[in-house]
Chains A and B, each alone.
Chain A
Amino acid sequence: MSKNIKLCKGLDIKLVGKAQAVVENAPMAKSYAVSPLDYENVTPKLLVKVGDKVEVGTALFFDKKDPRILFTSPVSGTVSAINRGEKRKLLNVAIEPDQAQSVKELKVVNAAEANRSEIVEMLLESGLWTRIVERPYGVIANPDATPKAIFVSAFDSAPLAPDYNFILKEEKAAIEAGMALLARLTDGKLHLSARKGDEGFMSSIKGVEYHTFSGKHPVGNVGVQIHHIDRIAKGDIVWTVNIQDVAIIGRFVMTGKLDMTKIIAVAGSEAQKACYKRIISGASIESIVGKVASNVRIISGDVLTGSKSAADGYIAMNANMLSLIPEGDVYELLGWAMPRFHRFSVSRAYFSWLCPKKEYKLDTNLNGGERPFVVTGLYENYLPMDVYVSYLLKAILVKDLDKMENLGIYEVLPEDLALCEFVDPSKIEMQQIVRDGINLMIKES
């Protein structure tokens, strides 16, 4: 077993509304949807039309850049709507589920015996390939590439994040099967990282390079872990898979049937009941949390990196939690001069440092206006990587590709800078800047 990696930098934001350790079964939703917008850099091309019957695993659309990458239906039923936005951009494909829930017959190969290309083909056909993320850039993995390593983080350190040890306590066999399959996809190592002291059964998973980490958020971010295990240099390709997706992949190879059921956390101060829910990926928000008041922000994912969802929308395919927090569209008289005991700040110009254990009910107010870069030395305290945050961001802003490369664009994804964005008094939209930078790199390469 390798040595524990301890990170000093970071921040755990304590919020009200942690999910209780209870799993409820969400009812079958009236509608499910698969959205290309849940993935980066996908140009969708439809394979179905409204009224078509689909089964679990039927391809709904594919990526124009690589027609082998299929996006499949999580349920069986009828395509009820194809929602488009401006310029006919595909927003999602909605499916009305049927009672029977028939599963498409997919070819399943044995991980130990099949050759690599058969495994790749199986994952592509089932749509599970889209669960594999490639770095640099955080896009769906290129089926023709062979990564130098694959990384899986067994824990999430974001505020209110689900406890994977709890969610996956009955999925050990599936995780082992999934890991065995992933191990076949790389010539290098398959890394699994767990939180020290809260390892569950992760330490007994075989065939992986096992690591433990301790520290504050973003210690659970796989990008941060990669940085401390085996950094990404120019020209490297690594893949990452979410631990719950490993279980889904494992379940598929064990049973031969695609089953997109997962357990998500419903959390946040505005959640009626903060607990875990068993859902099928892509379920409507309404089926998970019922009616939500209009002054509540629904987030697919965690409060730092998730995407905003409408009350009549759907949970993102890759989200493992729903966060519900109050909207903050109110004016605050002389707020910047007030003591603000109910708000949180890392700065001791406010008073949160007096009660380090307090759980806060934070809203979505920006708490100020956007300003140029003024403070220095702050951001680096919240990114446990050897990256100069403001220099990288400035390189992106001036579109200097060489500098972006030199300053570490290959090593970060927007999620890694989410904490820097949170603490920034200048309110700079760092995740968006990094996303723009990555898109520019993709376009130019």
Chain B
Amino acid sequence: MGLRKFVDKIKPTFSEGGKLSFLHSTFEGFETFLFVPNTTTSKGAHIRDCNDIKRVMITVVVALLPALLFGMYNIGYQAGIEGIWPAFWFGLLEMLPMIIVSYVVGLSIEFAFAQKRKHEINEGFLVTGLLIPMVMPVSVPLWIVALSTAFAVVIGKEVFGGTGMNVFNPALLARAFAFFAYTPQMSGEAVWYADAKTGATALEQLATTGGMEWSVLDAFIGLIPGSAGETSTAAILIGAAILLFTGVASWRIMLSVFVGGLAFGYLFDAVGLTTYPAYYHLLVGGFAFGAVFMATDPVTSAQTNCGKWIYGFMVGALAVLIRVINPAYPEGMMLSILFMNALAPLIDYFVVERNIARRKKLIKNVK
């Protein structure tokens, strides 16, 4: 294979002692992207499952595609552009710069840290880098995307030790950073549209008037204003199906988020705090997107099976609680997931303590 020969030829340049050895991790990242390495097992099990983190992450990216592609179309549709392809093209041109900025900024930081720590590059940012533009308002300036990506990667992830060690979901942290640091650019009625149009989102309408101008079907398909990834519950469900079938995301978390949201939705509806049916919560805003792609992040969610049920339920319930009780901030999903990210280790602690207690009880039984 010619390509393999080429890689082998340039490899010494990037290896220890080579001219470009300061780019070692970057080279390795690209090399392992092109070729699964020839590393063989040295200790432990001699054979290994062919699944690796690259495959896990790429599966999530594939699952994100339906929502991303529909979101692009919807950007054009919301801007009033006629026809499927012109609308999609319009949205593509809006989204592409954001995606490129997020990947370039995030991956550069990741590469630099990997080089410094002499680690291999982790694939986690392949997902994060796509999630960030998908949860940002459409008209957000690119420098805010760049800044919040940098914040999320450095403060959210690398200071904790990188992929696998972070407490908060990096993509949501980027969104939260942008929201609280640049509130004027991130809120108001204009941010959800790519053109001069302004208008309240379905969520805002529900919070203020108790109804929305779109039909339930429109909200389900996703023909409502919002950030690119979150509007289409239908496209998100396709992604959810992929994640659940491949077993990449936890069905326990996904299911329990929806259950938690519905339960509190019904509760508030029953006591008269809201005037719309509970399932509206699942269709509008970032609820479905958060439940499927954000809450299920294995690193920042609860890690024990029992903990996952509690964590998921609380995410859903808190999201609806914030939406209904706090009129100043109509979207509760982001804060709810971030809050539960912080609590997840505590939930796991109690679950693991029960395991420990069972083991200690054994000693008493014997004596």
Residues on A facing B (Cβ under 8 Å): 13, 15, 148, 159, 231, 233-236, 297, 299, 303-306, 308, 323, 325, 327-337, 340, 343-350, 362-377, 380, 386-388, 390-391, 406-408, 414, 418-419, 421-427, 429-432
Contact = CB atoms under 8 A, between A and B. Distances in A.
Interface stretch (B99-107, B162-170, B206-214, B323-331): B162-170
Interface string B343-359: 00000000010011011
Contact of A304 (B47, B360, B362): B47
A349 B47 contact: no
Given A303-B45, A303-B46, A327-B40, A371 B163 contact: yes
Contact of B36 (A304, A331, A387, A418): A331
B4 interface: yes
B359 A408 contact: yes
B38 A348 contact: no
Given A422-B45, A430-B44, A380 B305 contact: yes
A308 B46 contact: yes
A333 B299 CA distance: 29
Given A349-B56, A366-B40, A297 B51 contact: no
A275 B306 CA distance: 46
Contacts of A299: 46
A114 to B, nearest CB: 29
9 contacts: A328-B38, A328-B40, A331-B35, A333-B34, A336-B52, A365-B38, A370-B120, A388-B355, A414-B44
B59 A329 contact: no
Contact of A388 (B35, B41, B247, B352): B352
Nearest to A417: B44
Given A371-B164, A386-B358, A235 B47 contact: no
B17 to A, nearest CB: 22
Tell which of B41, B43, B45, B366 has the most Cβ of chain A within 10 Å: B45
A348 B47 contact: no
Interface string B127-161: 00000000000000000000000000000000001
A432 B44 CA distance: 6
A61 B191 CA distance: 79
B49 A346 contact: yes
Nearest to B7: A331
A325 B47 contact: yes
A13 B47 contact: yes
Nearest to A297: B46
A416 to B, nearest CB: 12
A2 to B, nearest CB: 19
B217 interface: no
Given A373-B164, A388-B304, A368 B247 contact: no
Contact of B4 (A236, A331, A377): A331
Given A233-B363, A371-B120, A337 B58 contact: yes
Contacts of A427: 48, 52
Given A233-B366, A349-B248, A372-B164, A426 B46 contact: no
Nearest to B362: A233
A426 B37 contact: no
Contact of A372 (B163, B305, B355): B163
A374 B36 contact: no
Contacts of B304: 376-377, 388
B36 A336 contact: yes
A335 B49 contact: no
B271 interface: no
A374 B46 contact: no
Contacts of A328: 38, 40
Given A333-B3, A336-B54, A407-B355, A374 B299 contact: yes
A372 B36 contact: no
B124 A374 contact: yes
B28 to A, nearest CB: 8
A364 B246 contact: no
Contacts of A304: 45-47
A242 B39 CA distance: 33
Nearest to B40: A364
B250 interface: yes
B51 A345 contact: yes
Contacts of B356: 406-407
Tell which of B247, B305, B365 has the most Cβ of chain A within 10 Å: B247
Given A334-B34, A368-B36, A372-B122, A349 B53 contact: no
Contacts of B352: 388, 391, 407
Contact of A234 (B46, B246, B363): B363
Contacts of A430: 44
